[in-house]
Amino acid sequence: MSSHRGARLFSAVLPLVAANLLWAGQGIAVKLLTGRLGSLAIALLPLYFITILGLGILIIRGRTATPFRLAWKLRREFFLVGICGQLMAQVGMTLGVSWSTASNAAILSLLIPIFGALIAVWLLHERLTAFRVGALLLGLAGVSLLSPLHRSTAPGTQTHELAGNLLIALGCLGSAFYNVYSKRLLEYFSGIEVLFFSYLSTTGFSLPVLFIFDPHCLSDLAHLRFAQWAAFAYLAIFLYGVSMVLFLRALETVDVVVASASLYLMPIFGVALAFSILGERLAPRAILGSAIVLVATAVLFRSDYAF
């Protein structure tokens, strides 16, 4: 019996850890593309690419007629999760990072578990026990120690950075909503199907908007260098594709509240990447904060699988 619990715990934890590690690289990739592509293009062009790739995968797998018919019946749900979830998450995060810092994005992502827990209680009627609240707050405390928000001292930039941080927070709200609402759609679709149809609705709504505000976005791709192409491919394949498939697979096993708590790992990875690659400042309290986050996440998972 204990081996069965251990196997279930491992099958849930491993995809979540991998997904958070992949998500943590978003700020780095966005920074590498900033100045080469517009903010909207950075947010949306990789999503269009993975949507086309997802269509190819579904066609190869066969039996596409039934999911398409069902998705059409649930088109309002996919429109909602695509626009209010995925589009708001990616545009808010990408615009925010381009105006703020990758470290700030990593730290502000601590809002996603809080938003996710509240939305899950509202939409899915999941249990928000005192123990779960305590674990979430402990993780929140750990992330607050991990690194304080970086504030620019250059004149005239603080307002711009504040707007970026607000957009990042809006993106966190969109991400939390997408995670929770996808849990409902997993009752009818596989993880890849949920991902594809939500991206398809996002593409249909955002494509005209992108070409109105950034009509030269496709021609700008020709000026990308190898590092920028690598960042673009990372966003398309690993951020929008692999990480989301891993997270949705974990959602089939655990509650959204528990899965959301794992997102406290993302600031650890994000700040470490921003420090090592971009040279952004890492506070000395990072080790203590990281330890608290890891303890809170482990305790929450062990408690939920102690049956």
Residues 107-139 pLDDT 10s: 777 778 778 877 887 787 777 677 667 766 766
Give pLDDT, residue 202.
Answer: 93
Please give the residue that has the higher pLDDT: either 46 or 252. 46
Q: Decide: 171 and 263 in contact? Cβ < 8 Å.
A: no
Residue found under tokens 């080790």: 287
pTM, full prediction? 0.79
Partners of residue 37 on adjacent β-strands:
34
- Which residues form the domain of 131? 2-304
Average pLDDT over residues 149-172: 69
Mean pLDDT of the chain, nearest integer: 80
CA nearest neighbour of 250 among 16, 4, 3, 17: 16
188/63: higher pLDDT: 188
Is residue 298's pLDDT more than 80?
no
* Cα 228–chain centre separation: 21
| Pairwise CA distance, residues 60 & 105, whole Å | 37
| pLDDT at residue 89 tops 60 | yes
Residues 161-181 have a mean pLDDT of: 85
Per-residue model confidence (pLDDT) at position 73 = 93
Burial 178-208 (b: 16+ CB within 10 A, else e): bbbbbbebbeebbbbbbbbbbbbbbbeebee
Q: Which of 49, 102, 83, 91 lies closest to 240 in space, CA to CA?
A: 49
- State how far the Cα of 104 lies from the Cα of 27, in Å rounded to an integer: 9
C-alpha angle with apex 118: 117 to 119, nearest 5 degrees? 95
What's the pLDDT at 34?
Answer: 86
Q: Exposed, middle or buried: residue 62 (CB in 10 Å: 0-12, 13-18, 19+)? A: exposed
DSSP string, 227-260: HHHHHHHIIIIIIIIIHHHHHHHHHTTS-HHHHH
Residue 55: how many CB atoms within 10 A of its CB?
14
Q: Is the confidence at residue 271, as pLDDT, over 90?
A: no
Model pLDDT for residues 26-62, shown as the tens digit of each residue: 878 888 898 889 888 998 999 999 999 999 988 888 7
pLDDT, tens digit (0-9, with 9 covering 90-100), for 217-248: 999 999 999 999 999 999 999 999 999 999 99
Domain count, the chain: 1
CA atoms within 13 A on the CB side of 244: 34
